[in-house]
Structure 1
Amino acid sequence: MNALLTDQLPHEAQDIYLARQPIVDRGRQLHGFELLFRDGRSNRAHVASHAAATSSVILRTLSQFGMESVLGSMPGFINCDADFLMSDAIALLPADKVVLELLETTVASIEVQRRCLELKAQGYRFALDDFSGATDDNRALLPIVDIVKVDVSLLDPVGLDAVARELRGLNVTRVAEKIETHAQFAMCGELGFHLFQGFHFARPQIVAGRQLSPSQAALMEMLGMLQGDADVRDIEDGFKRHPALTVDLLRLANSAAFGMQQPLRSIANAVLMLGRRQLQRWLMLMLLSGSGRDAGPRPALLHLGATRGKLMELLMLREPEHAAAADSAFIVGIVSVMDAVLGQDMATIIGALGLAEELRAALLRREGMLGAVLRLAEALEEQDGAAVSRFVADREDRAVDMLNHTQGQAVEWANRILMAA
């Protein structure tokens, strides 16, 4: 990263924070992320006069961890207006890791077409955002772009069908965005869209009365025992009732990550060696990832929950007066997506886990300090940044830098978990 460039960024550009939204395929598996840039002071969604500086700030943050650590093998979609497209700062973005998303306001002038072709020759990929039909402004871009995104909230069913038929004649990947319901997801799948984006995939509809699979029920039972501070012998007996889970426990305890000094002699030995805190986290992540292979993997939700949990924990650790609640913050972040994973209402899950009242208040009503940090984590995933703006306003001038750095740490940790899941 060019230090001189980042040192000369205008102050308002340095207040840009990074938010992300997952992009999934037909099987709801994680395909990539749209990287959303927000002004932490005024909650503006786009800083047009500082497009290049904004990107530099994001790259400065991501460079602390490496694009590979933050995005894993997934592409990052980055909004790109005409000013940024024509700037030299675009060279800071690695061509193999990003998709340049041309805003709907981009006019396909001769200069823009020439610049896009130049960048494609360097390996960059392009997406056309908010497409609702070919126009004089965008028609010349259609043979250039690799991906076309359609905002389903802007079209009625007849209009969406017409746009889908128009796109089927083009050699592009078709993305339906602003998907908020299962009905929209199903309809867009039938219309031939390849990828999907929207709040629905972070908050899928809950199937009333859905039963837990045997492995999910076992995990919930063990988590409830740990949360209730059960005796080690009772925990051991619980594992003995679930042989497959016991095998996973012993495999984890013997993994290189824990560096055993002596052979394990019992389940109780493994529980004591791992510690209740580590064991609880492991069980929660297994629950999110679809343990036992009977629930099917849910990488998008696993990544979302793991990132939330770690982000919330790190934010609490950064403030000494709240550091004691860091473990509770991690649990709240993980549990906050379990209703979507398990298909059960949050109150039922909280009851089964035996969570304390402050965790219950945070998860059900977003109350208390834990509830406020959960709202912040959710705001970083969505396009409503009011919670972020409040967080920044209540802290020192470098709060946005701290937030970006902490989010980078959380994403890096979640990527490691996802690769190991």
Structure 2
Amino acid sequence: AFHMCHKLQFARFMGPFITRHEKLDSPVLGPSRAKVLDLMNRVRTGAEQSVLVEQFRHDPALSIRLLRYVNSPGIGLLHKVGGIEQALMIMGQDKLYRWLTLILFTGGQAQELDSAVLENALVRARVAEQLASKALFAKARDEVFVTGLFSLLDVVMRMPMEQVLKQVSLPVEITEAILSQRGPYAPYLALAIACEQDDLGGIETLSAQIGRDVAEINAVHMDALLWTQQIAVDV
């Protein structure tokens, strides 16, 4: 369905056909994605900044993308950044990890589909993060955001989610929410998916579970859709 719509030159895509799992027996893990996964594991395990800088310097294409992102209007810096070390200092490890996750969505051959899946993942992540803002501390909210992003990585990498998650070091709360819909982050991911699927019954049930009203959920979802348009362009 997606490829038919793309051939008809539709500009925007929305619907379950975007997140449908296809060809899970044909994994897509090229050199660029393997490099990004390696960097993500280094960031998550607290690698020294000098080590990260060296890794970026060995990958000019990734370095250019990092500098382009840091200097994008969405970041809002007053002065342009020209060096990898300064860019990494500005990003910080949490934001760098988020950005690397986004890059995983753009390293495959099915670029149009991957971009559409990325937008869906960003909406999920933003909705989940915003809904967790009143209940969780900053570090946990960041992990909720990552939960939303990772929830669709199996689609773009064409492999089972269990296999995807084995390749990157993640807190147990994230893996539980994605694989078994359990743990403290699960309700926020489930509610983001309910919004995506226009599941009114699910939205009502889950919003009551986290202590939010439906009108507030709808406002958060609309904000996430608008926010995603800018972020997806900057990536």
Q: TM-score range by the shorter chain?
A: 0.7 to 0.9
What 5-or-longer segments of structure 1 have no aligned partner? 1-22, 33-72, 76-196
Q: Is the 8 A contact 2:72 2:234 kept in 1?
A: no
**Structure 1 residues 294 and 237: alpha-carbon distance in aligned structure 2, compared to 1, 3 A threshold:** farther
Residue 343, structure 1, aligned to residue 158, structure 2? yes
What 5-or-longer segments of structure 2 have no aligned partner? none
Residue 222, structure 1, aligned to residue 200, structure 2? no
Q: 1:259 aligns with which of 77, 82, 90?
A: 77
Residue 312, structure 1, aligned to residue 125, structure 2? no
Aligned partners of 2:207, 2:27: CA distance in 1, in Å?
40
Residue 381, structure 1, aligned to residue 196, structure 2? yes
Q: Is the 8 A contact 1:223 1:283 kept in 2?
A: yes
**Structure 1 residues 224 and 321: alpha-carbon distance in aligned structure 2, compared to 1, 3 A threshold:** closer
Q: Is the 8 A contact 1:226 1:276 kept in 2?
A: yes
Aligned partners of 1:347, 1:217: CA distance in 2, in Å?
17
Residue 299, structure 1, aligned to residue 115, structure 2? yes
1:291-313 residue CA offsets vs partner (Å, 9 max, x unmatched): 4x745232320110010011111
Residue 418, structure 1, aligned to residue 235, structure 2? no
Residue 26, structure 1, aligned to residue 10, structure 2? no
Q: Which residue identity does 2:34 align to in structure 1?
A: A
Residue 206 of structure 1 and its aligned partner are, at CA, apart by: 4.0
Aligned partners of 1:281, 1:342: CA distance in 2, in Å?
17
Q: Is the 8 A contact 1:31 1:74 kept in 2?
A: no
Q: Which residue identity does 2:151 align to in structure 1?
A: S
Aligned partners of 1:383, 1:260: CA distance in 2, in Å?
40
TM-score for the superposition, normalised by structure 1: 0.50
Residue 24 of structure 1 and its aligned partner are, at CA, apart by: 4.2
Residue 263 of structure 1 and its aligned partner are, at CA, apart by: 5.3
RMSD: 2.9
Q: 1:233 aligns with which of 17, 31, 50?
A: 50
After superposition, where does 1:106-185 map in structure 2 within 5 Å? none
Aligned partners of 1:357, 1:30: CA distance in 2, in Å?
42
Residue 404 of structure 1 and its aligned partner are, at CA, apart by: 0.9
- Greater relative CO (CA pairs within 8 A, separation 6+): 2
SS of 1:369's equivalent?
coil
Q: Is the 8 A contact 1:30 1:299 kept in 2?
A: no
Residue 367 of structure 1 and its aligned partner are, at CA, apart by: 0.6
Q: Which residue identity does 2:215 align to in structure 1?
A: D
Higher strand fraction (1 or 2): 1
TM-score for the superposition, normalised by structure 2: 0.85
SS of 2:29's equivalent?
coil
Q: Percent identity?
A: 25
Q: Is the 8 A contact 1:376 1:391 kept in 2?
A: yes
**Structure 1 residues 238 and 299: alpha-carbon distance in aligned structure 2, compared to 1, 3 A threshold:** same
SS of 1:280's equivalent?
helix
